[in-house]
Amino acid sequence: MKIVISGCGKIGVTVLESLVNEGHDITVIDNDPAVIEEITNLFDVMGVCGSCTDCDVLREARIDEAEMFVSTSASDEINMLSCFIAKRMGAKHTISRIRNPEYNYSALAFLRHQLDLSMAINPDMLVAQDLYNILKFPSAMKIEHFSRRNFQMIELNLKPDSALDGMSLIQMRAKYSAKVLVCAVQRGDKVFIPKGNFVLKSNDRIGITATPTEAVKFFKELNVYQKEAKDIMILGGSRIAYYLAKMLIASGSSVKIIERDSEVIQRFCDDIPKATIVAGDGAQQELLLEEGIKDTEAFVSLTGSDEENILMSVFAASLEVPKTIAKVNKEELSNLAKNLGLDSIVSPREVVSDVVVRYARALRHSLGSNIETLYRLFSDQVEAIEFKVSSEFEMKNVPLKEMPLKEHILIAGIVRERKPIIPTGDDVILPNDRVIIIAEGQRIQNLSDILR
Amino acid sequence: MNYRMILNFIGKIMGVEAVCMMISAFVGFLYGEFSSALWLALGAVVAFAFFVLSVIFKPKDQVFFAKEGLISVALAWVLMSIVGALPFYFSGEIKGFINCVFETVSGLTTTGATILNDVESLSHGMLFWRSFTHWIGGMGVLVLVMAVLPTASGRSMHMLRAEMPGPVIGKLVPKAKTTARLLYIIYIALTILMIILLCFGGMNLFESVIHTFGTAGTGGFGTKADSIASYSPYCQWVITAFMLIFAANFNIYYFVLIKKFSSALKSQELWVYGAIVLSAITLIALNVRGLFATTGETVRHSAFQVASIISTTGYTTLDFNALPTFSKSILLMLMLIGGCAGSTAGGLKVSRLVLLCKMIQNRILRVVHPRNVKAVKFEGKTVDEETLSGVSTYFALYCICQVVVFLLVSLDGFGIEVSISATAATFNNVGPAYGAAYAGYDGFSNLTKVVMSFAMLFGRLEIYPMLILFIPFAWRKK
């Protein structure tokens, strides 16, 4: 599929990298010749240097043949304008990054319609949504939803004293009554899709699928359940903080935001009057102590600097704040942060590229099966994909244990008429079901790809 | 340094060479020349052994940077030349190992300089292999490898750039693999077209193929001692046209292929190239008008020589030494200029010449108006400083390298004209030079032949990849 991407910032490059790995024909547009040079050296793509709102530049990038145009430059206005021009010049689908609050909320639907955008991506909103989910369920390191929240995929780290240490999955199922499925395990750099005799060890990072109620039950049985965080301290008045604070306030939590820029503070005060805004440098430990970091239930560090986020989260964790989350954008730093013991890390890059990849894959296979959701977990080594089963699926009504599945594939969940099922060998897949597939080291484009 | 990855790439390239040698062996076999077929097949086995070696020693990691790319290209070319020389050597059809290597390097780099005194005595299989090296060396072996074998790494541009001539290498389409395939499709289509046209002109199939290979790669190996002189004017015109076609930027043919004629005609390089060709033909035609009976003949010979030299092919229809000095000087200039970027030709390349002239123009303007700021524009786009400084550095390096080669060649004592023209003819991958070097390079000493072999490789790979082989720090393990 021919795809044109404009803007090669952090997000642009991440999207580009995922799409290249999916095997698309990609042309990138950027203003900076040095960036283009770098990108074309690193990736198998074609580079066009120039402005993405310039018709000649778009023509040179063969926009008229493009199936998809993704605009990820830093400016919302440029993104919208270039998407509009691209659409008029013949691009079939346009995706624009729009992150400014004034364009989001009520204006977004209008803009999308008027500009004929296929999708508007707000990375900050998406990250805020992720953060919100984690804060609502702090026992998880990361939590993703499937099938309109009927299913959850939860990542958690097994602490050294975990009850699951040295337990095989069969034993685990016998011991705990909560219906959960361990669908992926990361040990060191390796990721496994475990079978029943797989033995868990401490320090494993495991992914489980479960319904929301069963997940709570499981965590309670494990004795690691934390109740929803209601008192939250946010460091840095970024856009993510803005969206997050809005969501949290709406759900009745109390939010304290620490920011030094007076202009930003003014905007927060105007838009989110219910939040407590503290003017000051969040990097000062004194200030955080004074503002009662010890008594908060969760600490979220969202400043523009990855380093500061990591350090302040480590500080908060040392004060035994029950939940600390850091925003880390750079890939190399996020591994470092994990080594420092920070378990919850969010990254805007990954969130956005998941969304774009999902869209691209759905476009490529718009017939037959539909990809509903796609998440990539454990540093992109594992994919969790939700499909809607079409009536053409050849293995409908076949019990799972008789289905010739490929290696490293797991059917982690079935949703039938809104009723979630944690599948066992006797379950079957029916048309109109939604199934959640976990796949390691391969790209599942279509539901029949899971079959041998 | 990722040595295994380098080995892996060289192995793949040797695999392609093995296939090419097998084809040549098959041609020899068809003509009933069993000994030459056998030796060619044996050469193919040696090349294939390298391929097997690379399959056995799989690289541990795929990390591959610019340095590895350049080194593997350079090493691959050196190794290909040596392995490619084996059939000549073992069959005894060319005497002396250095001569064999010289001939193979000359083939692969599309130079067409020969040490053979009697080319007509060579067997069909060996002739075919000799010319086939032109064909694969012209578009590039690596490009071929990229087109047919799977390569995982996204960093393939480092290598594509190392093998493809020109100041800036862009792709035709986003994927390197598709780009490589398109280039070869265009290349093969033009080759087939030319073979057919030559066959119509009364050349037999074998000779058509040989001369097409020589023209397509802008090489210059033929089947006759007097090159093209004994063929009909029709054949000479066909060859003239195709020499010019193969020395133009292949991007243009891609634009024609996708029916974007306006983009094709917008190429500034093409226009300058055309202008140089036309003015050179006119000047030489005026200069030599007394030598031939008719105007038609005069134009034909001038056009052929100009096309042959600017495309760095090196076919001739007359003895260069019979030309007046002015014409010889013009041809020497053309040797240095060479064809367009992104073609199979050698030389400095027209686009670099245009950029250099524009830089000089800007510099002069700056001298007169010191505060004047003016960007260098080429093909409708501003050229960035990085590219410009790259071009000027390349030019300096290009001159220095030729001076060094010239000094070494002059050790043989052939006189200034021969030494200069032989240096230019080998470094720019042209082939025949003036004086004693017109007929062949057999008269030079072994040292000079080795120097010239390197000169041809330097010229073909545009200096940097080869130069890096001689720089110690490139070999350090980071």
Which amino acid type is present at position B151?
T
Q: What is the separation of C-alpha B10 from the centre of its chain, rounded to a whole number of angstroms?
A: 20
When computed from its CA atoms, the radius of gyration of chain B, rounded to whole angstroms, is 22
Of B359, B465, B467, give the one whose Cα is nearest residue B68.
Answer: B465
State whether A339 and A371 are in the same domain. Answer: no
Could you tell me if residue A135 is inside a domain? no
State whether A81 and A15 are in the same domain. Answer: yes
CA distance B421 to chain A (A): 37
Collapse the DSSP code of B162 into the 3-class scheme (helix H, G, I; strand E, B; otherwise coil) and give the result: helix
| For B161, nearest residue in chain A (alpha carbons) | A41
End-to-end CA distance of chain A: 25
- Residue B311: the pLDDT is 93
Q: Is the pTM of this model over 0.80?
A: yes
CA distance B157 to chain A (A): 6
Show Cβ contacts of residue B276 under 8 Å, excluding neighbours closer than 6 positions: B310, B334, B337, B350
Q: Which residue has the tokens 């799972």?
A: A400
Could you tell me if residue B97 is inside a domain? no
Q: Which of A197, A222, A247 is the last residue of a domain?
A: A222
CA distances from B344 to A167, A197, A387, B139 (A): 66, 61, 51, 6
Burial profile B104-123: b = 16 or more Cβ within 10 angstroms, e = fewer: bbbbbbbbbbbbbeebeebb
Nearest to B174 among A25, A34, A41 (CB): A25
**pLDDT above 80 (res A172):** yes
CATH of the domain at A214: 3.30.70.1450
Could you tell me if residue A218 is inside a domain? yes
Could you tell me if residue A216 is inside a domain? yes
Spatial contact of A362 and A370, defined as CB atoms under 8 Å apart: yes
Nearest to B154 among A34, A43, A47 (CB): A43
| For A38, nearest residue in chain B (alpha carbons) | B155
Q: Do B177 and A43 touch (CB under 8 A)?
A: no
Percent of chain A with pLDDT strictly greater than 70: 98
| For A50, nearest residue in chain B (alpha carbons) | B381
State whether A249 and A208 are in the same domain. Answer: no
* Cβ atoms within 10 Å, residue B69: 26
Could you tell me if residue A126 is inside a domain? no
Q: Which of A194, A222, A250 is the last residue of a domain?
A: A222
Name the band, by pLDDT with cuts 50, 70 and 90, for residue A237.
confident
Q: Which stretches does DSSP call E strand in B60-104?
A: none
- Residue B398: the pLDDT is 94
CATH of the domain at A246: 3.40.50.720
Q: Do A26 and B384 touch (CB under 8 A)?
A: no
**pLDDT above 80 (res B466):** yes
Q: Do B384 and A33 touch (CB under 8 A)?
A: yes
Would you mind telling me the total number of residues written for chain B in this entry? 478
Q: What is the pLDDT of residues B260-317, one digit of tens each?
A: 888 788 888 999 999 999 999 999 999 998 888 899 999 999 999 999 999 999 899 9
* Cβ atoms within 10 Å, residue A266: 11
Q: Which residue has the tokens 């072994």?
A: B446
From chain A residues 47-106, the ones with a CB under 8 A of any chain B CB are 47
End-to-end CA distance of chain B: 7
User: Among A85-94, A109-118, B469-478, whose mean pLDDT is lowest?
Assistant: B469-478
Domain extent, residue A104, equals: 2-121
**pLDDT above 80 (res A364):** no
State whether A357 and A342 are in the same domain. Answer: no
Nearest to B154 among A2, A20, A47 (CB): A20
The 8-class DSSP code of residue A91 comes to -
> Facing residues of A143 across strands?
A154
Of A37, A84, A78, give the one whose Cα is nearest residue A63.
Answer: A84
State whether A209 and A235 are in the same domain. Answer: no
Q: Which residue has the tokens 């707000």?
A: A122
Spatial contact of A350 and A14, defined as CB atoms under 8 Å apart: yes
Name the band, by pLDDT with cuts 50, 70 and 90, for residue B154.
low
| For A48, nearest residue in chain B (alpha carbons) | B170
Q: What is the pLDDT of residues B334-388, one digit of tens each?
A: 999 999 988 888 889 999 999 999 999 999 998 988 888 788 888 878 888 888 9
From chain A residues 122-141, the ones with a CB under 8 A of any chain B CB are none
Q: Do A41 and B66 touch (CB under 8 A)?
A: yes
| For B64, nearest residue in chain A (alpha carbons) | A42
What average pLDDT does the structure give for chain A? 84
Average pLDDT rounded to a whole number, residues A156-169 = 82
Name the band, by pLDDT with cuts 50, 70 and 90, for residue B196.
very high
State whether A194 and A264 are in the same domain. Answer: no
Q: What is the DSSP track for B249-268?
A: -HHHHHHHHTT-HHHHHT-H
From chain A residues 279-318, the ones with a CB under 8 A of any chain B CB are none
From chain B residues 148-207, the ones with a CB under 8 A of any chain A CB are 154-158, 170-171, 173-178
When computed from its CA atoms, the radius of gyration of chain A, rounded to whole angstroms, is 23
Alpha-carbon distance of B78 to B461, in angstroms, equals 11
Q: Which of A320, A346, A372 is the last residue of a domain?
A: A346
CA distance B293 to chain A (A): 51
CA distance A18 to chain B (A): 12
Could you tell me if residue A133 is inside a domain? no
Spatial contact of A351 and A380, defined as CB atoms under 8 Å apart: no
Q: Do A44 and B157 touch (CB under 8 A)?
A: yes
Average pLDDT rounded to a whole number, residues A413-440 = 84
State whether A342 and A363 are in the same domain. Answer: no
CA distance B377 to chain A (A): 14
The 8-class DSSP code of residue A421 comes to E
> Facing residues of A186 across strands?
A191, A205
* Cβ atoms within 10 Å, residue A57: 18
**pLDDT above 70 (res B478):** no
Size of interface A-B (CB pairs under 8 A): 35
A197 reaches B (C-beta below 8 A): no
Collapse the DSSP code of A215 into the 3-class scheme (helix H, G, I; strand E, B; otherwise coil) and give the result: helix
Could you tell me if residue A134 is inside a domain? no
| For B178, nearest residue in chain A (alpha carbons) | A25
Could you tell me if residue A256 is inside a domain? yes
On chain B, the residues whose CB falls within 8 A of the CB of A47 are 170
Alpha-carbon distance of B313 to B240, in angstroms, equals 10
From chain A residues 18-47, the ones with a CB under 8 A of any chain B CB are 20, 25-27, 33-34, 37, 40-47
Two tokens, residue B92: 């005894």
State whether A445 and A364 are in the same domain. Answer: yes
Of B223, B200, B202, B198, give the one whose Cα is nearest residue B212.
Answer: B198
Q: What is the pLDDT of residues A16-55, one digit of tens each?
A: 888 888 888 899 999 988 888 888 888 888 888 889 898 8
Domain extent, residue B392, equals: 385-475
Could you tell me if residue B404 is inside a domain? yes
Q: Do A25 and B156 touch (CB under 8 A)?
A: no
Name the band, by pLDDT with cuts 50, 70 and 90, for residue B243.
very high
* CA triple A361-A367-A17, angle to 5 deg: 10
Nearest to A46 among B155, B171, B384 (CB): B171
State whether A9 and A62 are in the same domain. Answer: yes
Give the number of domains in chain B.
1
Torsion-angle region of A410 (φ positive above 0: left; ψ -120 to 50: alpha; else: beta): beta
State whether A304 and A254 are in the same domain. Answer: yes
What average pLDDT does the structure give for chain B? 88
Q: Do B175 and A25 touch (CB under 8 A)?
A: yes
A415 φ/ψ angles, rounded to the nearest 5 degrees: -120, 120
Helices and strands counted in chain A (H then E):
14, 22
* Cβ atoms within 10 Å, residue B216: 26
On chain B, the residues whose CB falls within 8 A of the CB of A26 are 174
State whether A152 and A190 are in the same domain. Answer: yes
Q: Do A46 and B170 touch (CB under 8 A)?
A: yes
Q: Which residue has the tokens 């809005």?
A: A246
CA distance B471 to chain A (A): 23
Give the number of domains in chain A.
4
Alpha-carbon distance of A440 to A412, in angstroms, equals 13
Name the band, by pLDDT with cuts 50, 70 and 90, for residue A14.
confident
Nearest to B173 among A40, A46, A47 (CB): A46
Q: Do B175 and A37 touch (CB under 8 A)?
A: no
Alpha-carbon distance of A59 to A40, in angstroms, equals 19
Spatial contact of B458 and B400, defined as CB atoms under 8 Å apart: no
Collapse the DSSP code of B279 into the 3-class scheme (helix H, G, I; strand E, B; otherwise coil) and give the result: helix
